Amino acid sequence: MTEQPHGTRVGVDIGGTFTDVVAVRDGEVTVTKTPSTPDEPERGVMNGLDESEAAAGYAPDAVDFFSHGTTVATNAVLEGTWADTALVTTEGFRDALEIGRQDRPDIYDFDAEKAEPVVPRDRRFTVPERLDERGTVLRELDEDAVREVAAAIDGTGVSAVAVCLLFAFENPTHERRVAEILREELPDVSVSRSSTVLPEIREYERSVTTSLNAALKPVMSDYVGDLEREVRGRGVDAAVKLMQSNGGLIDADAARERPVNTLLSGPAAGVQGATHVADRAGYSDLITMDMGGTSCDVSLVQDGEPVVSTDVAVGDYTVGVPMIDVHTVGSGGGSVAWVDAGGALRVGPRSAGADPGPICYGRGGERPTTTDAHLLLGRIDPEGFLPEDRDVGVADVRAAFAELGDELGMGPEETAQGVLDVANANMGRALRVVSVERGHDPREFALVAFGGAGPLHAPTLAAELDVPTVLVPRTAGALSALGLLISDVGYDYSQSMVRPWAGVDAETVATAFAELRAEGDSELAAEDVLPARREFERVADLRYEGQSFDVSVPLPDGEVDDGMLATIERRFHERHESRYGHADPEEPVELVTLRLHARGVVDSPETAAVAADGTVADAVAERREVRFAGDAYDAPIYDRDLLPAGGEFDGPAVVEGPESTVVLRPGQSAEVDPDGTLVVDTGVAK
C-alpha cells in the first residue's frame, strides 16, 4: 500500500459548497478549497487537484495514495435521481417495500408524506417460493415463473434489478438461482441480491437497502468511471479509493458493486479525521461536531472508535448497512433568527445558506443569522470578514438586530447574545439526547469542533453541557479530507443466524466466520493488501429471547470453541447491563447476527509538528472589543498560524485561522499541542 513512503498522499472531499483537497508531502499538510461542481463532480475534483498541485508543489505521478469522499450516492438518494430499478421478491410480499413499518413520518402534520418506494409498484414482481425461519425450503422456487418475470422486467426497460426473498439470509439458494436466471435472461441489467448486500433479518430494511444498492449501481459506475479516467488522464497512477459510510476505504470496483455503502462518505471521513486528531492529543471518548452553514452533524466516538449504527436514515430511507452514526441538527452559521407568533426568540431551522447567506456576506441577506450575531459581538473580525467590495458594514448588521430586538424589547447586542444563547440551547439539546440515547453522559467526553462554524460555538456549548475539554483541529475546515488520508481499508460482512444461543455450537459459528473471512481475504487481496496487514474483527449480535434490540459483542482472539461461546454470553450480559441498565443471566439468550470487519491497515502519514519557536504574545494580531453575556472585554485576537506548539493562553480570546475562528470565554484557557490542535479547558470541573 505504501511502497513509496516519501510520495504524496492526496485526499479529496466533495462538500456541498467546496471541494477540499488535503495533500501530505514530506510531512507538510497543504489544504486547498475550490468550489464544488454539483452537475459534474469530477470537474471539481480536477480543479481542486490543479490548485493543490500548485499550492503544495507536487507532480501527479508523485501521488502514491489517492482517496476520495463522494456525495454522488447521497445526492442521488436525496434527489431521487437513481436508476430505474425493478424488484423481485417472494410471492405475497410485493408491497412490503412500500408499506414499510406502517408508522407515519409526522404525528400531527396532515400534509406529511411517506417516502416514495425505491421501486414503484409496477416494477415489483414476485416469484413462487418460500423458506421458513431456519431457511428450510417450504416451497420450491418456480424457475419458469422467474423466466416469465425476467421477460416482464425486460419490458420495463430498467437498468437494475434487486432480488430480496424472505429468509434469504438463512439460505441464499433461491436468491442465488433467481439472480443467475436474471443474468442469463437480462445480460445488460445489473443485479443486486439481499443475501450479499445485507444478509440480515427484517425484510423491509433488507429490501430497501438492496433496492437502493441496485438503483445506485449505474450511477456510481458512471461516476467512478469518469473519475478514474480523469485521474489517470492527469498522470496519477495510484489506485482510486473511496470512503464508505463505515469509515473504511474501498477500491473503485468495490464501490461500483456496493454504492449503498458510500452514502455517508464525507461525514464518515470527517469523524475519522476528528478521531485521528483527538487520538494524537490523547483523547479517545469524543463527541464530534461539524457545524457548517445550514446544519450541524454530531457523532459519538468511544474508545477511539466511531460509534457505528445499522439503522441510520439517509434522506427518507433507513439503510441497514453499518454507518458511522451521524445525527444532523438544523443549526448552522446561516440559521436565521426570528420572533414567533408567541413572542419567543427562535433560531432556525430556516437557513440563509451560502446564498444569500448572512447579512455580513454582503450578498443580499437581510435576516440576521448566528454568524451575524458573532460579528456584532466582536467574535468575528469585521475587517477581515466583510467583503471590501460590498456595500455592507457592521452598522447594517446592528440595524438588523435592532429591528429584531424591537419586537423583543431588547437592545441589538443583547438580542445578538440572545440569538447565540438560543442556538446553543438547540444544539445542546441535540448533543445531550444523542449521547443519552446511547447511554452516555456527555460530561465524560471531549468535544471535537470543526466545520466553519463549530469552533465559534464549541467552547461555550461545552461549558453549558459541563464538558471539560474542547479540541479544535488545525485543519478544522477540511477535516473530512484529512480523514481520507488516515483511514484504513475496511469491509463489513454479516450473516444473520437467528436461533437460541443454547442450541448454537462452536463449529457452526466457526464455519460461518470462516466463510465471512474468506470473503474478506479475497476482497482485501484484490486491493493488494498484504496478509500481514489484514486484520479481522469478529462480532456476535445477541439478544434476550423475545427482545428486539441486539447487543454487539466483540469476540476475543482465538478459535471459536465452547469456552469462547461462554465468554461471549458473559460479555453479552455485561454489555446489556451497561447499555440498557439491566441484565439477567438466567434469561435465555439468542444469537441474531455474526459480523466480520476486515481491515487493511494503512499507515498514517507522518505530519510535521507546528513550530515551537515564537511566543504566544507574538501571535497577538490585534486587540478588539468582544462581548460576552452583556459585558465588553478588550480581548486578544490570535493569529492561529503564529501560535507556537506548547503555547498557553486564557480567555476571553479569539483565535483566527484560515479556516475557522475559535472563541474562548472569560475563565477558559487553551493550549496548543504539537500538531497545532487547540486543547481548550472549558473551565468546568473535570
Partner 1 sequence: MSADPAAGDDAEVDPVTLEVVRNGCVAVAEEMNANLVRTGYSPNIKERRDCSCALFGADGEMVSQAENMPVHLGAMPFSVRAAVDAFEGDLNPGDAILLNDPFRGGAHLPDLTLVSPVFADPESDDPRLVAYAANRAHHADIGGSTAGSVAADSTEIYQEGLRIPPVKLIEDGEIDDDVFGMILANVRTPDERRGDVRAQEAANETARERVHGMVDEYGADTLEAAFEAVKDYSERRMRSELEAFPDGTYEFSDLLDDDGRGNEDLPVEVEVTVDGDEVGVDFAGTAPQTEGPINAVLAVTSSATYYAVRCVTDPEIPPNHGCYRPISIDAPERSLVNPEPPAAVVGGNLETSQRVTDVVLGAFATEAPERVLAACQGTMNNVTFGGTDPRGEDGDGADGEPYAFYETQGGGFGGRAGKDGMDGVHVHMSNTMNTPAEVLETAYPLRILRYSLRPDSGGAGEFRGGLGLRRDIEVRDHTARFSLLADRQRHAPYGLEGGDEGERGAAYLYDDADAYDAAADDDAADAGEKLPQKSVHDLPPGSVVSIRTPGAGGYGDPDERAPTAIDRDLRLGKLTPAAALARYGVDEGSSSAGRTQSDDADPADLDGE
Looking at the Cβ atoms of 106 and 557, the one nearer to partner 1 is 106
Cβ-based nearer residue to partner 1, 441 or 606:
441
Choose between 243 and 307: whose C-beta lies nearer to partner 1.
307
Which is closer to partner 1, CB of 148 or CB of 230?
Answer: 148
Least distance between partner 1 and beta carbon 252 (Å): 34
533: phi then psi, degrees, rounded to nearest 5: -100, 5
Least distance (Å) between residue 446 CB and partner 1:
19
Work out how close the CB of 167 gets to partner 1 at its nearest, in angstroms, rounded to a whole number.
Answer: 6
Region of residue 109 (phi > 0: left; psi between -120 and 50: alpha; otherwise: beta):
beta
Nearer to partner 1, 39 or 103 (CB): 103
User: Is-cis flag, bond preceding 41, omega within 30?
Assistant: no
Q: How far apart are CA 533 and CA 554, in angstroms?
A: 20
C-alpha 526/C-alpha 221 separation (Å) is 18
Q: How far is the CB of 121 from partner 1 (least distance, A)?
A: 4
As a whole number of angstroms, the distance between CA 14 and CA 69 comes to 6
In three-state form (DSSP H/G/I as H, E/B as E, the rest C), the secondary structure along 524-558 is HHHCCCCHHHEEEEEEEEEEECCCCCCEEEECCCC
Query: Closest separation between CB of residue 401 and partner 1, Å?
Result: 13
Query: Cα(279)–Cα(275) distance, rounded to whole angstroms?
Result: 6
Q: What distance in Å separates the CA atoms of residue 424 and residue 486, rounded to the nearest whole number?
A: 31
State the minimum distance, in angstroms, from the CB of residue 185 to partner 1: 15
Residues in contact with 369: Cβ distance below 8 Å, sequence separation at least 6, in sequence order: 333, 334, 335, 336, 337, 351, 352, 357, 358, 359
Closest distance of CB 264 from partner 1, Å: 22
Q: Which is nearer to partner 1, 576 or 599 (CB)?
A: 576
Q: How far is the CB of 685 from partner 1 (least distance, A)?
A: 13
Cα separation, 473 vs 449, in Å, equals 8
Distance CA 535, CA 529 (A): 10
For strands 296-302 and 305-306, give the pairing.
antiparallel
Contact 30, 610 (CB under 8 A): no
Handedness of CA 103, 109, 111, 116 (dihedral sign): negative
| Residue 434 beta carbon to partner 1: minimum distance, rounded to whole angstroms | 9
> For partner 1, which is the closer residue by CB, 392 or 410?
410
Least spacing, CB of residue 661 vs partner 1, in Å = 20
What is the identity of the amino acid at 46? M
Residue with Cβ nearer partner 1 (187 or 343):
343
- 308: CB partners within 8 A, 6+ apart: 246, 247, 322, 323, 324, 325
C-beta separation of 83 from 123 below 8 A: no
Taking the C-alpha atoms of residue 76 and residue 614, their distance in angstroms, rounded to an integer, is 49
644 or 683, CB closer to partner 1? 683
| In 52-199, beta strands by DSSP E | 63-69, 85-90, 124-127, 130-131, 137-139, 160-164, 190-193
Q: Which is nearer to partner 1, 236 or 347 (CB)?
A: 347
Residue 3 or 122 with smaller CB distance to partner 1: 122
Min separation Cβ 112 and partner 1, Å: 8
Cβ at position 344, least distance to partner 1 in Å: 5
The residue (of 10 and 512) whose beta carbon lies closer to partner 1 is 512
Distance CA 368, CA 403 (A): 10
How many other CB atoms sit within 10 Å of the CB of residue 232? 12
Do 613 and 547 touch, CB atoms closer than 8 A? Answer: no
CB of 240 to partner 1, least distance (A): 38
Report the phi/psi class of residue 315: left, alpha or beta, with left for phi > 0 and alpha for psi in -120 to 50. Answer: left
- Of 348 and 490, nearer to partner 1 (C-beta) is 348
Q: In what order do the strands lie in the sheet with 85-90?
A: 124-127, 85-90, 160-164, 190-193
